[in-house]
């Protein structure tokens, strides 16, 4: 009788124990989410796509401003990189949480969707890519213009910005070799931002999304990897505050090769490889 009571008590205890809800999605669920999100973006009308792209570009400039502000007066390089990364994390979180359209996130979402769709949608992909890129650039320039006109920033900010931009444009010293180095650096940058998108999508609470975004962003900032959308924020401010580089230098010598690398990094090292790894589960 006593044994039966003990068993019943044990069963009741087990029943009352609640298994904690899993706080993240499995990788195959993340890839499915990428595919669905890419399809949703494609099915959105062009004016809405452009508005979301403009907002994403605006957030990139806000992130650039914050990253520079946090680094003013900091001499230790390691701490500077961490603070700059934290500053830019704010911009990416605004993009991810608001479902704005960022070119480098599109580099992950669209290939994931594209690899599972038919030929007739190809024109939609190209148009959406173009809308995202142009919208990001215009949004970045618009916010930079507002900030400069408002006269909100200090001379210390301009000095720190010049240092950061010269670090990003150092590849121009190496001619065509430097151009290809920017492209390779762009691959690394979007590989990391693709993982930021991956981790943020995987997380099911705000704290997890913040941490999942912050770590890859801090890493790409510290590594000086060339991320075209982030550079749009920095260069938009640079065009209006310094004459060290002409606008066409930013575009031809950095944004174009970085963008090519970003597409490769997102499409191959995130979308293609993860889709291949989880192809059986995706089909099921």
Q: What's the confidence (pLDDT) of residue 132?
A: 96
Q: What's the confidence (pLDDT) of residue 46?
A: 93
Place of tokens 């009571």: 5
Residue 24 φ/ψ, nearest 5 degrees: -155, 160
pLDDT tops 80 at residue 205: yes
Q: What is the pLDDT of residues 230-260, one digit of tens each?
A: 999 999 999 999 999 999 999 999 999 999 9
Split at pLDDT 50, 70, 90, the class of 195 is very high
Highest mean pLDDT among 20-34, 103-117, 264-278: 264-278
Task: Name the β-bridge partners of 246.
Answer: none
**What b/e readout covers 240-266, taking b as 16+ CB neighbours within 10 angstroms?**
ebeeebeeeebeebbbbbbbbbbbbbb
Residues 205-216, mean pLDDT to the nearest whole number: 94
Q: What is the pLDDT of residues 65-83, one digit of tens each?
A: 999 999 999 999 999 999 9
What residue ranges in 173-232 does DSSP mark as E strands?
none
Compute the mean pLDDT over every residue in the chain, rounded to the nearest whole number: 90
Supply the Cα-derived Rg of the chain in whole angstroms. Answer: 22
Q: What's the confidence (pLDDT) of residue 122?
A: 63
Q: What's the confidence (pLDDT) of residue 4?
A: 55
- For residue 4, give both structure tokens: 């039966």
Q: What's the confidence (pLDDT) of residue 214?
A: 96
In terms of pLDDT, which residue wins out, 24 or 140?
140
- For residue 254, give both structure tokens: 């950095």
Q: What's the confidence (pLDDT) of residue 18?
A: 55
Place of tokens 């900091």: 74
Q: What is the pLDDT of residues 129-179, one digit of tens each?
A: 999 999 999 999 999 999 999 999 999 999 999 999 999 999 999 999 999
CA-based nearest residue to 40, from 110, 118, 138, 119: 110
Q: What's the confidence (pLDDT) of residue 110?
A: 82
Prediction pTM value: 0.89
Residues 201-210, mean pLDDT to the nearest whole number: 93
Task: Name the β-bridge partners of 24.
Answer: 203
């Amino acid at each position: 009788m006593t044994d039966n009571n003990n068993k019943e008590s044990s069963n009741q205890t087990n029943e009352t124990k609640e298994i904690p809800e899993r706080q993240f999605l499995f990788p195959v669920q993340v890839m499915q989410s990428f595919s669905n999100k890419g399809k949703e973006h494609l099915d959105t009308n062009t004016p809405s796509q452009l508005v979301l792209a403009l907002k994403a570009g605006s957030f990139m400039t806000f992130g650039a401003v914050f990253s520079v502000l946090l680094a003013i007066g900091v001499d230790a390089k390691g701490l500077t990189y961490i603070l700059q990364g934290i500053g830019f994390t704010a911009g990416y979180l605004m993009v991810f949480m608001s479902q704005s359209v960022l070119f480098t996130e599109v580099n992950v979402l669209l290939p994931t969707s594209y690899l599972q769709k038919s030929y007739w949608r190809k024109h939609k992909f190209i148009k959406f890519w173009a809308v995202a890129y142009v919208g990001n650039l215009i949004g970045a320039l618009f916010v930079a213009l507002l900030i400069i006109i408002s006269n909100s920033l200090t001379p210390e900010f301009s000095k720190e910005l010049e240092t950061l931009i010269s670090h990003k444009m150092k590849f121009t010293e190496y001619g065509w070799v430097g151009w290809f180095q920017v492209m390779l650096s762009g691959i690394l940058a979007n590989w990391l931002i693709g993982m930021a998108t991956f981790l943020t999508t995987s997380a099911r609470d705000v704290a997890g999304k913040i941490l999942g975004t912050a770590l890859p962003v801090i890493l790409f900032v510290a590594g000086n990897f060339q991320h075209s959308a982030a550079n749009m924020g920095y260069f938009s401010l640079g065009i209006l505050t310094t004459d060290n580089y002409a606008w066409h230098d930013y575009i031809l010598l950095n944004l174009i090769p970085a963008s090519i690398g970003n597409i490769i990094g997102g499409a191959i090292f995130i979308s293609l490889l993860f889709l291949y790894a989880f192809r059986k589960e995706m089909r099921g």
